[in-house]
Amino acid sequence: MEEENPKHAYRISDMLEDDKPRERLALQGPASLSNGELIAILLRVGVKGESAIQVGNRLLKKFHGLRGLYKTPFNDLQREHGLGLAKTAQLKAAIELGRRLTIESPEDRPAINSPKDAADLVLYEMSILEQEEFRVMLLDRRNKVMETNTLYRGSVSSSQIRIGEVFKEAVRKNSSSIIIIHNHPTGDPTPSTDDISVTRAIIQAGKILDIEVLDHLVIGSGIFASMKEKGLCFTN
């Protein structure tokens, strides 16, 4: 779809000064803006009958939030009223930058001091996966993230996970501890019986190898469960 002619569109510049997303972002910071307002800044101009903010909110509602916009194919999004090639590219690029920010080089990541610290590094990306993934986060003696490796994709069960593979990179790179992470594509992060069984086996192997298993995080739809916090398998 061709982008709307600006002469017939609702512009951010037509809004009252205090209501302009760009000005508010400059004065109050990006955290002060809603997702719809942030999208409006990317779009710059709306369409006849809709401001850029209204277009942003419409897209968020139709595609069920940022995760939906991330997952929607480029060509499908481009056909939406008020977008077009250039705006779709801007929107996709901005969302991709947000995803990449969560997987920056380990040197830029903070130390892991809580389950949330670890979850924040993978939640954005793993929440929108359509199949299961099993990952291992390696940490050094200061609890700094060394790297996060994906071991399995698809249906992950205790019968498929090889304990030796879980610790292979940790042993090779002299990691002091690990955090194991996997997602539930259903969106419900409640640990299953199989999750508990796998975790127990990995913890026992870690004791033999002198590599501590700090936690097992289960990622759902924008939320996560820490098996350690739930008192499953882990003891103080």
- pLDDT tens for each residue of the chain, 236 residues long: 444 444 445 555 555 444 678 888 888 888 888 888 999 998 888 888 888 889 999 999 999 888 888 888 899 998 998 888 999 999 999 888 887 776 665 556 668 999 999 998 898 889 888 889 999 999 999 899 988 999 988 776 666 788 999 999 999 999 999 999 999 999 999 999 999 999 999 999 999 999 999 999 999 998 999 999 999 888 75
What's the structural domain count of the chain? 2
Give Cβ neighbours of residue 227 (< 8 Å, ≥ 6 apart): 191, 195, 196, 199, 215, 216, 217, 218, 233, 234
Residues 94 and 147 in one domain: no
Is the residue at 232 inside a domain? no
Q: Which domain holds residue 42?
A: 6-101
Same domain? For 92 and 128 the reply is: no
Are both 147 and 186 inside the same structural domain?
yes
What's the DSSP call for residue 136?
E
Same domain assignment for residues 77 and 133: no
Q: In this structure, are 117 and 217 located in the same domain?
A: yes
In a domain, 77, yes or no: yes
Please give the helix or strand (H or E) that residue 236 lies within, else none: none
Q: Last residue of some domain: 85, 101, 117?
A: 101
User: Which residue, among 110, 126, 100, has the nearest Cα to 225 in the 3D structure?
Assistant: 126
State both tokens at 226.
């820490």
User: Does an H or E element contain 80, and which?
Assistant: none
Whether residue 222 is found in the same domain as residue 110: yes
Residue 1 lies in a domain: no
